[in-house]
Structures are given as structure tokens and as C-alpha cells.
Structure 1
Amino acid sequence: MAGAVVREDGRVLAIRRADNGTWEPPGGVLELTETVEDGVRREVFEETGLRVQVERLTGVYKNVTRGVVALVFRCHPESGTEQLSEESTAVDWLTPNEVSERMGEVYAIRMLDALRNEAAPSIRTHDGQRWLDTQAAG
């Protein structure tokens, strides 16, 4: 799961991952005993130093090659200061255009879906590199 943290000015928070150098939304894997919302808050804080409020689910994304399903939640920042972690070599607030320029396709669309003001979450599938569909639910 991941947090698409959106500021009032419409910029969205992204990290450059330490392990592979790609720009992605902050996120990770749930711990056994935590709720989904608690996991989103924990992962965003661990990777960026920001505390967030989880607003809503914006997308469900299945990687058909690996059999992994990712959930993305729109969040807004509450407190803290951006900082690096063992998992991130950069933390930045990106415009929608910068999201498209810096992120690979399978991560950029997750962030762009979170910026849309749709009531229903997007449901999409990909092969790890490219989207196999372009339709959003709703």
C-alpha cells in the first residue's frame, strides 16, 4: 500500500528509493497486526518524516506478473518535516507534470489517479512496466 500525500497547492509527495533510484509514492507492506490506515501512516512517516491523515482509497493496482495488489490512499500532511531515511535518497513535492516526467508509468498513474476528484477508486492492472488497461472505475 502507498500514500499519495497531497498538499493544498496540489503537489504530491514522492521519494526516490535508495534501492533502485526510482521515484515512487511512499509505501510498503502492512505489518500483521496493523490496520491499513495505520500502515499507510507508518510507511509515509518512516520514509519521509511526515505525519499524515488518510482521506480515502484512490486506486487498486494489480501486477499480473508478480500477483501483487497495491492499494493507494490519498492523504494530506498534518505535521513533520521532510527527511531522508534508509529507504529514500530524496523527498520532493511534485507537480502533476513532474510526476509524469520523473516516475515510471506504473507509479505515475497511481499518483495522478489520487489527484483526481473521483468518488470511486481506479482499478487497474499492469505487467510491472506497462498498464494493460486504461479504464478507471467509477
Structure 2
Amino acid sequence: MFVEKEYKLSKVSLSDFQLFLKSSIHPFYFRHNVKLIDSWYIQSEKIIKEYWEYKDIPHFNLVCRQYNENLRSIIDSKIAYESFSFVYRMGGGIPKNIVSVFGCIFNDKDEVLIMKSLLRQDTWEFPGGLVDENEPLDLAVKREIYEETGFNVDLEGITGIYSNIGVGNIVIGFKGRISGGKLKLSEETKELKFIKLEEKNISSYFKRDNFAIRALDAIKNKAQPIHKTT
């Protein structure tokens, strides 16, 4: 059984709340045998979303009671609101798809821009994020890259399309080049840098298997034409 948890931030910064998640909320769930599937930060709305997997309804109810007794007052002091919704299984998976995009972006030295996110500090990754409702994919990746890095980009095409079956996430990769702007950290970005990315050094930076696969495709595959919004 999957549950979507949403935190709306207003009283603390993303970095402070991320520390609270890792030090208090996540360990609480892990102790109660709840599995974290994935998490996202929607910068424009200052919302953190997480997907958790419970064994069944009784398991969920038990954990909720413990949560309210131990963490509720602390949570209320740190955020504007907290909510959850059930995501029911259909055909063995989550019956809705989240769409996200990323960009393998080069500078004039043919170096690739990579980042460390505050939500995933164990690995480097390409900048990107969730596609907003009714937002074209190419505009979404340009927006995400600008928000996270400060750079404007010109896109050359798509490098791959991926299905993250565990959370119903469709991921589209783009390749492009910097066209303007200036490097800057955002509220959700821990570190940014340019590297000479090659097959032999991908595993030194991209520590998650799915990120490494996407990085390899991005540098090896010829970019296909960008999709058209019709």
C-alpha cells in the first residue's frame, strides 16, 4: 500500500527541514518498517512530496498513531501543513505517472554541468525536476535548470526516456548547451560544478544505478529531435 506524504514549508528553509527529515522523520518511519520509495521538492510551491510503502491498512493506522504521539507537535511548529493521500495499486503498480525531466548540459569547454541536491546528497546528478501541469517538456527542463543552476540553455534533443516503475515516474533526458546566465545555488542545490564526463568516470559521480545509466546514455547517444507540443 502506497501513501503520498506532502509537506508545505513556510516556517523553515528547505535545508533546515531536510535535516529534520533525515534526523527525525525518516528514522521514525524506518523503525516502523515503512519503506521510502522516493521524494521530490517542488520549488515553485515550496512543497516536499514523499512516497512511502506500508504493509497494509492496520500497519498504516498503527504508524499514524505513533507518529501523532511522538512527532505531531514538532511538525506543526516547522511547517504550514502536512497531508497524505492513498495511492492504490492497479495492475501491480501505482495508477498514475509522475513526469520529470533532466538535462545533460555542456559549456563551451565540452564540460558537463552536474549538481548535488539537498534531497539526494549521496550522489551527483543532472539538474532537472518535475514537469508542472500543462507544461511542455522542453520548457520544463529549461525552467528546472535555470531554477537550480542559474543558467539558460539551448536544447539539442532527447537522450532517453525511462520508466521508474517503483513510483510510477516517467523520466525524459535532454542534451543541450549553456546559452546564458550565471552559476548560482538554489534553495534545493547543495553543490554545482562542471566536469569532463566520460564512461570511465561516471560511477565516480553518479552513485545511483538509474542515474549512472541515464548519464551513460546522455554522453553516448545522439540526441533525437525535441518533442513537439501539439
Q: Give the TM-score normalised by structure 2.
A: 0.49
Give the greater-gyration-radius structure (CA).
2
Residue 106 of structure 1 aligns with which residue? 210
Shift >6 Å, 4+ stretches: none
Match of 2:184 among 67, 78, 83: 83
Deviations 1:52-91 (A, max 9, x none): 0111000011112222110000011001111111111101
Unaligned runs of 5+ in 2: 1-100, 226-230
Distance 1:58 1:93 in 2: 19
Query: Aligned residue for 2:21?
Result: none
Asked if the contact 2:148–2:185 (Cα under 8 Å) also holds between the matched residues in 1, the reply is yes
Note the C-alpha offset of 1:110: 1.3
Alpha-carbon separation, structure 2, partners of 1:20 and 1:74:
22
Name whichever of 54-63 and 88-97 sits farther off.
Answer: 88-97
**5+ unaligned residues in a row in structure 1: which ranges?**
122-138
> Contact between 2:175 and 2:223, CA under 8 Å: does it hold in 1?
no
**What's the % identity of the aligned pairs?**
33
**1:120 deviation in Å?**
5.2
- Evaluate the alpha carbon distance shift between residue 17 and residue 54 of structure 1 in structure 2; reply closer, same or farther with a 3 A threshold: same
Q: Does the CA-based 8 Å contact 1:54-1:74 persist in structure 2?
A: yes
Contact 1:6/1:115, CA 8 A, preserved across alignment: no
Partner residue, 1:3: 103
Letter in 2 for 1:15: M
Asked if 1:47 corresponds to 2:148, the answer is yes
- The answer to whether the 8 Å contact 1:51/1:77 transfers is yes
Q: How many residues were matched structurally?
A: 121
Q: How does 1:1-138 map to 2 (within 5 A)?
A: 1-21=101-121, 22-97=123-198, 98-104=201-207, 105-118=209-222
Higher relative contact order (CA 8 A, sep 6+): 1
Which whole-Å CA distance do the structure 2 matches of 1:119 and 1:24 have between them? Answer: 19
CA RMSD of aligned residues (A): 1.8
Q: Answer yes or no: is the 8 Å Cα contact 1:12–1:111 preserved in 2.
A: no
Question: Whose helix fraction is larger, Structure 1's or Structure 2's?
Answer: 2
Structure 1 length as normaliser, TM-score?
0.78
